[in-house]
Chain A
Amino acid sequence: MTAYTQAPAEAAGAAPPGSPPRRRRRLAPRTIGYLLILPTVLVLAGVQGYPLVKLALLSVQDLTQRELFSGLPAPFIGLGNYAKILSDPDFYLVVLRTVAFTAANVALTLVLATGLALVMRAASRWCRLLLTVVLICVWAMPQVVSTLVFNWLFDYEFGVVNWLVGRLPGVDMNGHDWYANTISGFGVITMIVVWGAIPFVAITLYAGISQVPKELEEAARVDGANSRQIFFRVTYPILRPIYTIVTVLSVIWDFQVFNQVWVARGGRPEPQYQTLGVYSFVRAFGVNEYSLGAAIAVITVLLLLIFTVFYIRQSLRQGEID
C-alpha cells in the first residue's frame, strides 16, 4: 500500500517487468487526481465558495428589498453594517448567549456520551445491544420531529413533564410554561440538542474505546491506577484524535443551532431566545435587512473559525488527520 501510494507515478507509468511494452499513453496520476476532484470543487465553489464571497460582499453593502426587486446594484457602505452591529448592546448579549449555550451543550454532550460509551463497554452484551438500539432510534430522529416531541412533553397544559414534576411534594406545575423563563426555556432547548447529539458522539467514542487494547488498561490497573487515572492517562490520550473530531463537530453544530430554537418557539423566537444563527436570520428576512444579516453571519463564521481552525491545524500538524 505504501509503495503504491507514495510512488504512484512509478506504479502507473512503468510497465511491469516481463510484460510486453505498452505504448498506450496513460494520464499522470496527478492529472487523474485533479479530474476526480473537479466536480466536487465545482459544486463546492458554486454553492459554498461563491455564497461565502457573496456573503462577505453583502456585508459591506446595503441591500434592501428595493434593490432585490429592481435589480439595481446595492450601494457599498463600507463597514457601516459592522459598525451598526458592534454598537448594538443587544448583539453582545446574543453572542454571550450563543457562547454559553454552545459551551453548555458541548460539555454536557461530551460528558454524557463518554459516560455512556464507558457504560457500554463495561455492560453485558444484552445491555450493550439495548443501548445501541436506543441510541440509533434517538440518532435517527429528525431535529424538527424531536423538537416537536419535546414541546409536547413540556406542553404547559397536557405535558407529561409537568405532571411528573408535579408529583413531587409541594410542587405545583399546573399550567407551568417552561418557556416563560429564559433559563428554563433554554434548559429545555439544551435537552433537545444534547439528547439529539449524544448518540453520534457516544457511538463514535464507543467505537474508539473498544479499539483501545485491554492490556494497556490492565497493566495500568496492576500498577495501581484507579479508574479515573486509567481513563485520563491511558484511554483518553489514545482517543484524542476522536475527541478532537467530535469536539470540533459538536462546537460547529451547537454554535449554529437554528432548527431547535426556531421550531421550539413556533417560528417566532422572542428576542431573548435568539442565538446568533436565529438573530442573523430574523434580521435578514424579518426586516429585509439582508446586509445586516450578512454581517452578523460573517461575524458568526469568524468566531467559529478562530476556534476550529486552531484545532484542525493542530491535528494536521500532529499527523492525526492525513
Chain B
Amino acid sequence: MASQPSTRARRGRRGGGRIAANTIGIVASVVLIFPVYWMVLTAFKPGDELMTYTPHFATLHPTLANFSRAVHAPHFADALGNSVVIAFSTMIIALVLALLAAVAIARFRWYGRRAFIFAILVVQMVPMSALIIPLYLMLNSIDQVNKLSGVVLTYLAFVLPFSIWTLRGFVAGVPAELEEAAMVDGCTRLQAFFRIVLPLVFPGLVATSIYALIQSWNEYIMAYVLLSDQQKETLPVWLVSFVSAHGVDYGALMAGATMMALPVVVFFAVIQRHVASGLTAGAVKG
C-alpha cells in the first residue's frame, strides 16, 4: 500500500545521495592526495621548475637528478642499511612474541589474563616521549646506546602491544573446534597449532609483521636520541638532518622522502584490509 511510493522516494533519494557522495568523494580524494602528489612531483621536477614563484602543477621534463643528489648525499646507504636491519629485526622478534601472547590470550584461561589485557592497552598509552629519558639512561648503563640492538629493543616495547592486540583478533577468529578435531584425530596440541591454527592466522601474521616493519621504519625520535653516530642513523633521522646540513634542497629532500615512503605505501596497500579488519575484530568480537 504505502510501500510503493515510499520505496520510490527512497530510491530517488539514494540516487541523489550517490551523486552527492561521489562528488564529495572526488573532492576529498583530490585534497587528501595533494601533498603526496606534490612530494612526488617535486621529486621529479628539473631544477628550473623547483623554486618558482608561480608553481608548476605538472612537469613535462621529469628528471632523476633530485634522486641522484639524495642518494649521493652523505650517509644515505648507511641510513638505508640501518633502517632495514632495525625494521626486520624488530618485525621478526615482535611477530614471534606477539603470536605466543595472542594465543595465550585467545585460547587459554589463566589467572591474571584480564589484567594482562588491561596492561597491554594501558602500555600503549604511555607516551614514547615520556620514556625517552629513562630508556636512554637505562640503555646507557647497559652499554646499548648508539647500538642498533638497543633501538630494536625499544621498538619492541612500542610495537608489541598493538601486534598482540591485532593478532588476538585473528587467533580468536579461528574456531577452536578445528583444533579440537585435530587433537581428537591424534595431533598433539603443538601439531594442531602448526597444522590448523597457523595457516588460518597467516593473513593476520602478514598484517602484523608489516605493521611492525612500518612502525620501526618510520620511527624518528628514539633513533634520534639513541644513535649519535652519523653512520648509525636511520632513514627518518637522515632525512631530517639532510635538511639542516645542506640548507633546504627541496628537490632532493622530496626525492629522499619519496624513496622512504614508497615501500611503505606498497606494503600498506597489500595489508590495509587485514589491519582494519583485525582491529575491528579486536574491538567488537570477544
Contact = CB atoms under 8 A, between A and B. Distances in A.
Contact of A127 (B21, B154, B217, B240): B21
B239 A144 contact: yes
Contact of B137 (A68, A137, A145): A68
Given A152-B254, A203-B272, A255-B127, A50 B132 contact: no
Interface in A127-168: 127-128, 130-146, 148-150, 152-153, 155, 157-158, 160, 163
Given A122-B18, A135-B32, A148 B243 contact: yes
- The bracket for how many chain A residues form the interface is 35 or more
B28 interface: yes
A152 B125 contact: no
Interface in B254-286: 254, 257, 260-261, 264-265, 267-269, 272, 276-277, 279-280, 282-284, 286
Nearest to B161: A44
Interface string B1-38: 00000100010000001101110111011001101101
Majority secondary structure of chain A interface residues (helix, strand, loop or mixed): helix
A64 interface: no
A14 to B, nearest CB: 11
B195 interface: no
Contacts of B125: 248, 252, 301, 304-305, 308
Contact of B108 (A29, A51, A120, A294): A29
A245 B217 CA distance: 25
A241 B32 CA distance: 27
B124 interface: yes
Contacts of B98: 40
B180 interface: yes
A123 B133 contact: no
Interface in B98-136: 98, 100-101, 103-105, 107-111, 113-114, 116-119, 121-135
B161 to A, nearest CB: 8
A123 B279 CA distance: 24
B203 to A, nearest CB: 15
Interface string A286-316: 0000100110011011001100110010001
B73 interface: no
Contacts of A134: 28-29, 32-33
Given A29-B109, A140-B267, A44 B123 contact: yes
A280 B22 CA distance: 45
A5 B10 CA distance: 46
A148 B239 contact: yes
A321 B126 CA distance: 20
Contacts of B137: 54, 58, 63, 68, 290
Given A51-B135, A130-B29, 9 more contacts: A4-B179, A5-B107, A36-B108, A37-B101, A144-B239, A207-B277, A208-B283, A245-B279, A308-B122
Interface of A: 1, 4-6, 8, 11-12, 16, 19, 26, 29-30, 32-34, 36-37, 39-41, 43-44, 46-48, 50-52, 54-55, 58, 63, 68, 115-116, 119-120, 122-124, 127-128, 130-146, 148-150, 152-153, 155, 157-158, 160, 163, 195, 198, 203-204, 206-208, 211, 221-222, 241-242, 244-245, 248-249, 252, 255-256, 258-259, 262-263, 266-267, 277-278, 280-281, 284-285, 290, 293-294, 297-298, 300-301, 304-305, 308-309, 312, 316, 319-322
Interface of B: 6, 10, 17-18, 20-22, 24-26, 28-29, 32-33, 35-36, 38-39, 42, 50-55, 96-98, 100-101, 103-105, 107-111, 113-114, 116-119, 121-135, 137-138, 140, 153-154, 156-157, 160-161, 164, 175-177, 179-180, 183-184, 186, 189, 214, 217-218, 220-221, 225, 236, 239-240, 243-244, 250, 253-254, 257, 260-261, 264-265, 267-269, 272, 276-277, 279-280, 282-284, 286
